[in-house]
């Protein structure tokens, strides 16, 4: 893999062992300034280990890790000043308020007292926590706690955020709001490297990497990965009655005449859904079916992961 010189983070041929188990097998990765890179992989694939090494909190056997041109081993303090790291484990005190947590970490980071109040107020507003700033973190929801941790990571003028499974445990509505917040942070120029085992989390990424058993097996933009996978767009149909006659009608529009049944109706594959959807709709009307829905669905990143890796992402590596 070629290594880009204009990178805010660079990893080259990184190897890591735990006892006799090799968890990273020559991983190479570059993150460009302002990029949003999502690394997808199942639990146990090595992605959290990679992130902790890049954050300077874990050792490694061999390879190169640079943050903003600074070697993580030879110039550790300077490199870590460029990083905002949010691990999976919660690190904010539940006994303090949100504002008190930020004041505490601002002190640890050496942020001048004259700048702390303004910076903390700015971050609380950015996270949508200003009205809850003086409540104890014990009273916060999971989404609010994660936002507070992101604010803590942004106290310094960091170049890149390293986020380890930040949306795990959040319900769909809260996750959507949280991911929208990350997009806004990225739009301000902060690069983001996020690891996840949830395909929906990667849909906003500028680039996505797929990781299995300590190796990055593919990377590219979501559209590039879709094209390389060879997966076609599926069309989801539900109509009444769900009869064998309905299956026969749908098979005329499906690649290889295959119709998949599932709880929400039926699914078929199509090379050009923009043409096929209206044709299916017309055929169902003419055959007297009551249409509930006919909609196209491009392959998800989890579908692509399964196609490339030969295994589902939600499971053990």
pTM of the model: 0.85
* DSSP per-residue letters across 24-79: EEEEEEEE-TT-EEEEE--BTSSHHHHHHHHTTSS--SEEEEEETTEETTTTHHHH
Topology match between the domains 9-227 and 232-298 = no
Helices (H), the chain: 47-54, 76-80, 98-108, 113-127, 142-153, 172-187, 222-229, 244-251, 273-286, 301-309
Domain assignments of the chain as residue spans, ordered by start: 9-227, 232-298
The predicted pLDDT at position 314 comes to: 78
The predicted pLDDT at position 157 comes to: 87
The predicted pLDDT at position 232 comes to: 82
From edge to edge, which strands make up the β-sheet containing 83-86?
83-86, 160-164, 191-196, 36-40, 207-212, 215-220
Burial of 139 (0-12, 13-18, 19+ CB in 10 A): exposed
The predicted pLDDT at position 130 comes to: 95
From edge to edge, which strands make up the β-sheet containing 70-71?
21-31, 9-18, 62-67, 70-71
The predicted pLDDT at position 317 comes to: 43
CATH superfamily name and code, 232-298:
YebC, transcriptional regulation domain (3.30.70.980)
The predicted pLDDT at position 248 comes to: 94
CATH superfamily name and code, 9-227:
P-loop containing nucleotide triphosphate hydrolases (3.40.50.300)
The predicted pLDDT at position 263 comes to: 84
pLDDT in tens, the chain (317 residues): 334 457 999 999 999 999 999 999 999 999 999 999 999 999 999 999 999 999 999 999 999 999 999 999 999 999 999 999 999 998 999 999 999 999 999 999 999 999 999 999 999 999 999 999 999 999 999 999 999 999 999 999 899 999 999 998 888 888 899 999 999 999 999 999 999 999 989 988 999 999 999 999 999 999 999 889 888 888 999 999 999 999 999 999 988 788 988 888 998 988 788 899 999 999 999 999 999 999 998 888 998 998 999 888 875 44
The predicted pLDDT at position 4 comes to: 46
């Amino acid at each position: 893999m070629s290594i880009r010189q204009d990178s805010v983070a660079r990893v080259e041929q990184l190897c890591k062992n735990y006892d006799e188990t090799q968890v990273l097998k020559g991983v190479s990765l570059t993150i460009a300034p302002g990029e949003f890179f999502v690394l997808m992989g199942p639990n146990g694939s090595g992605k959290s280990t990679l992130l902790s090494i890049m954050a300077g909190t874990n050792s490694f056997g061999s390879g190169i890790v640079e943050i903003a041109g600074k070697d993580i081993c030879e110039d550790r303090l300077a490199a870590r000043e460029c990083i905002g790291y949010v691990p999976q484990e919660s690190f904010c005190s539940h006994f303090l308020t949100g504002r008190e947590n930020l004041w505490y970490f601002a002190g640890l980071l050496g942020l001048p007292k004259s700048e702390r109040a303004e910076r903390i107020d700015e971050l609380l507003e950015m996270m949508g926590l200003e009205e809850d700033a003086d409540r104890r973190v014990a009273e916060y929801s999971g989404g609010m706690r994660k936002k507070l941790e992101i604010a803590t990571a942004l106290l310094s003028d960091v170049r890149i955020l390293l986020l380890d499974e930040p949306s795990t445990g959040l319900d769909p509505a809260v996750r959507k709001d949280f991911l929208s917040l990350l997009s806004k942070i990225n739009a301000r120029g902060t690069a983001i490297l996020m690891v996840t085992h949830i395909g929906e989390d990667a849909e906003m990424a500028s680039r996505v990497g797929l990781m299995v058993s300590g190796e990055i097996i593919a990377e590219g933009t979501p559209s590039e990965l879709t094209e390389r996978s060879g997966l076609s767009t599926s069309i989801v149909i539900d109509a009444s009655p769900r009869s064998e006659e309905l299956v026969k009608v749908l098979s005329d529009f499906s690649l290889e005449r295959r119709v998949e049944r599932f709880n929400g109706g039926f699914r078929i594959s199509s090379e050009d859904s923009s043409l096929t959807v209206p044709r299916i709709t017309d055929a169902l009307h003419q055959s007297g079916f009551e249409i509930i829905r006919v909609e196209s669905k491009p392959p998800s990143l989890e579908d692509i992961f399964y196609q490339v890796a030969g295994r589902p992402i939600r499971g053990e590596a």
